[in-house]
Structure 1
């Protein structure tokens, strides 16, 4: 009979009894599992804080750009003839636009070549020299008898970035065309010209774009023009009839800045609400009170306090008209919830877009003591970021930096703590398993002893019975 089968036969102590004993001892190890779960929950909470801070950081980026506060809106009376875009450097105003000619590329169409397939060998050879009138040297191509019409086209196109001449095939005709528009030349020579029937060419000369802005005629080689009005790009699409024109209006677009600040405020509110949840003490009077994962965490409390302070305090910036977010229609209640008055903000931007811009992204130079290469005392000029967006991003970066950030340090600490708890759990489980085996050995020995005692007793009783019968 095996030891496991013997155990409990005489003593009544079987595996269920041992399981109960082990369970009682294992209860002392639940604190490790609880501690590990707490560490993991806290680490996850900090990862969520990091993610929300990162979104907040990125949304602040728009507020430190001058372009956000000097954005322009463009309106063209018709969308059929000219498309217009304007950046922050454009001046507001109204302009009359008339397109009289679109820019086109010089093109040469060859004669039809009698082949059944574009991949058939042409059986001709010779050189083909293309000249764009701009490059110092012409572009020469060697045509061999094994080449197909497609091979010739591909060979020319392989050099199109340099030659500014591209090739195409239409109805077995080789077509050469300038890759740029305007009054540009395209000439060719060489022994392969006639074989490719390029001497039967029909040449269409390229043209410059012609249009007027407030009656001033302008000619350009391209239909996309960005050097007529500062910050304005025209994309000419169709030609007006002689009696038609379009009106272009460029106005300030305060909506871009308002949208940018509104996104920052929304993200701040989401972040602040999440932090409140993580720091919540719950209801201490409740029997099963549930607190936030990071309740009492000084780093998180400091972050929340500093963010609220930045949203309410006066900033030392280069702006003369705006000192705080409250001057821009932002209010913070006692719980840290921010509200945004878009109308008030737009009115301020319309009055002083540069002042609003400086409040968010201004900086100043500061002279600090230093030492030159000879060890002599000197001063060094450093740039100090003072604008709201810059200062706030600097605070956030202290937390989310992937190398030196507070959250990175905390995450590394949690990793070490969890690793330590795992080692404790492993050691504890090993000790419990050793204890289990000891119990099995101990109680199996007890049952074995009891079995042997019973056997000896039966033997002795048998001996006594035999003596009496004798």
Structure 2
């Protein structure tokens, strides 16, 4: 611990602190400049992220299948729904569901405690047969006297799983056993007009067969029966994908004599959604750029007067506003023709969805060419608006060599340079402070020595004075 001024009566530690504050002024200037550059770098990093997100939105509009996507709608989704795939073509279809497909199921006749041993010894065979009597799969189980209904259920399911694992072709004909209210219920895992036939010495004892050898059928296996545009079909499943090209029908409820209209049309929602998301990201990007160049905006002005940012902002606005050269003279040669217009002097865009939908309905191919260009053309004059946007954005975002990366890297180098300068200056200031401390400590020591000598001299003079003879 060091206490200043004991000998000199001077608070030289405070004096050193004040001197060092003056010496640190250049360091504070460096810190302030470093912070400014870091702020500038962060602003450019944010711009790069926004432009990268903009490129993703551009890519969504340029997706190869965007304008070829179709959607299917149903006039009664409670009865029939539809899903359109890439092979679907626009059209309208009338569907009448006469009968739903069901899975065959049988159950034991007698309700018992499923946890008590059934005292049945024998074999059980479950065969899945078609309506014409062909056996498609057979599953065999050995029943022991100690087996409860729960144990028998588990044995049946294990035997089915093992058979399917050995031969995956048996999967469509698998069965599943369950315990429901003290009954053993065995059901087909898939729908269709196939039946489960039980046999074996344990079938009767388990009450799966009555005295007449008949099963207790709780659900009859049936095929789905339906009509499409008046033509009748039957299928083993309620999911039908081979009647209407590229469309999968889901049959939910039978209604003989009641038709459901399935409409397959172009998916305009997909196009509108892609364009809408682009406009939102474009506006976010451009608004942020405007803010960074506006000294009066809250949190803005960090890149005021930056020529590179002015170039980037200007290029984006120009590419969005300019007409497509190859479409010059046509009604659809610029984005404004399909409802994408500039709002004000800020350059942000607004989308008129109704106008875009009208353009898609009137000439879908022309809208596609305006936005995505002519894929078969060799010249850049046939580039659509979003193609030329993508090319420009790709140049700006090119890794390491793109203008954005180069600017960020240059700012990062400057930040590191300032950090190194500050580190060297901090080291020099520490040495300066230590040197001042040593000098004042030496001064304090010297003053203390002089004061000690002064006291000794005073004592000597006093002693000499006392030795003088008195008159």
Which residue of 2 is the match for residue 151 of structure 1? 154
Q: Please state if 1:339 is matched with 2:350.
A: yes
Give the Cα–Cα distance (whole angstroms) in 2 for the partners of residues 342 and 72 of structure 1: 18
Instruction: Note if contact 2:153-2:177 (Cα within 8 Å) is conserved in structure 1.
Output: no
User: What is the aligned counterpart of 1:230 among 230, 237, 245?
Assistant: 245
What does 1:33-72 align with in structure 2 at a 5 Å threshold?
33-65=31-63, 68-69=66-67
Tell me if structure 2 keeps the 8 A contact 1:77–1:246: yes
1:267 is matched with 281
Rounded Cα–Cα distance in structure 2 between residues aligned with 1:417 and 1:295: 19
Q: CA deviation at 1:65?
A: 3.6
Q: Corresponding residue for 1:286?
A: none
What is the TM-score normalised by the length of structure 2? Answer: 0.78
Count of aligned pairs: 446
Task: Check the 8 A contact 1:307/1:392 in 2, yes or no.
Answer: yes
Alignment of 1:170-209 (within 5 A): 170-187=180-197, 193=203, 197-199=207-209, 201-203=215-217, 204-209=219-224
Does 1:328 find its partner at 2:346?
Answer: no
Contact map agreement 1:98 1:245 (CA 8 A) in 2: yes
Q: 1:80 is matched with which residue? A: 78
User: Which whole-Å CA distance do the structure 1 matches of 2:117 and 2:289 have between them?
Assistant: 74
SS in 1 for 2:101: coil
C-alpha contact 2:153 2:184 (8 A) present in aligned 1: no
Deviations 1:11-45 (A, max 9, x none): 51422111101111111101232133123322322
Q: How does 1:165-314 map to 2 (within 5 A)?
A: 165=174, 166-187=176-197, 193=203, 197-199=207-209, 201-203=215-217, 204-242=219-257, 244-252=258-266, 254-280=268-294, 292-314=301-323
Aligned ranges 1:328-367 → 2 under 5 Å: 328-332=338-342, 335-362=346-373, 364=375
Give 1:446 deviation, angstroms: 0.4
Higher deviation after alignment, 157-166 or 256-265: 157-166
CA contact (8 A) 1:55 1:267 kept: yes
2:95 match: 97
Give a deviation string over 1:76-131, Cα, whole Å, max 9, x none: 443432223445754444443321111112223244474453xx666667665555
Gap change, CA 1:19 and 1:150, over 3 Å in 2: farther
Q: Specify every segment of 5 or more residues in structure 2 that has no aligned partner in the other structure, as ranges.
A: none
Alpha-carbon deviation of 1:407?
A: 4.7
Q: Distance in 2 between matches of 1:318 and 1:302?
A: 26
Structure 2 residue aligned with 1:388, among 385, 388, 397? Answer: 385
Quote the Cα distance in structure 2 between the aligned partners of 1:91 and 1:139: 44
Aligned to 1:429: 426
* Rounded Cα–Cα distance in structure 2 between residues aligned with 1:411 and 1:135: 72
Q: Is the 8 A contact 2:140 2:159 kept in 1?
A: no
Question: Does the 8 Å contact 2:128/2:137 carry over to 1?
Answer: no
In 1, distance between residues paired with 2:429 and 2:310? Answer: 41
Per-residue CA distance 1:421-457 (angstroms, 9 max, x = gap): 4444333333323322222221111011011112112
Instruction: Flag the 1:197–1:387 CA change in 2: closer, same or farther, 3 A.
Output: farther
Q: Distance in 2 between matches of 1:429 and 1:399?
A: 39
TM-score, normalisation: structure 1: 0.78
How far apart, in 1, do the equivalents of 2:67 and 2:387 lie?
15
The whole-number CA distance in structure 2 between the counterparts of 1:295 and 1:78 is 59
Going from structure 1 to structure 2, the CA distance change for 1:150 and 1:139 (only over 3 Å counts) comes to: closer
Q: CA deviation at 1:219?
A: 1.7
Match of 1:31 in 2: 29
Q: CA separation of 1:344/1:438 partners in 2, compared to 1, >3 Å: closer, same or farther?
A: same
Once the two structures are TM-superposed, the CA of residue 135 in structure 1 deviates from its matched residue by 10
Of the three residues 96, 102, 109, the one matched with 2:107 is 109
Which ranges of structure 1 fall in alignment gaps of 5 or more residues? 284-288, 368-381
Q: How much has 1:253 moved relative to structure 2? A: 5.3
**Which one is further off, 255-264 or 29-38?**
255-264
* 1:5 match: secondary structure: coil
Aligned mates of 1:385, 1:7 — CA distance in 2:
86
Instruction: Report the more deviating stretch, 302-311 or 48-57.
Output: 48-57
User: Structure 2 CA distance, aligned partners of 1:450 and 1:157?
Assistant: 104
Contact 2:240 2:249 in 1 (8 A): yes
1:208 is displaced (CA, Å) by 1.5
Counterparts in 2 of 1:124 and 1:347: CA distance versus 1, 3 Å: same
SS of the counterpart of 1:46?
A: helix
Distance 1:317 1:175, change over 3 A: farther
Cα deviation, 1:219-241, whole Å, max 9, x if unaligned, reads 22221223322343322111114
Of 422-431 and 28-37, deviating more is 422-431
SS, match of residue 24 in structure 2: helix
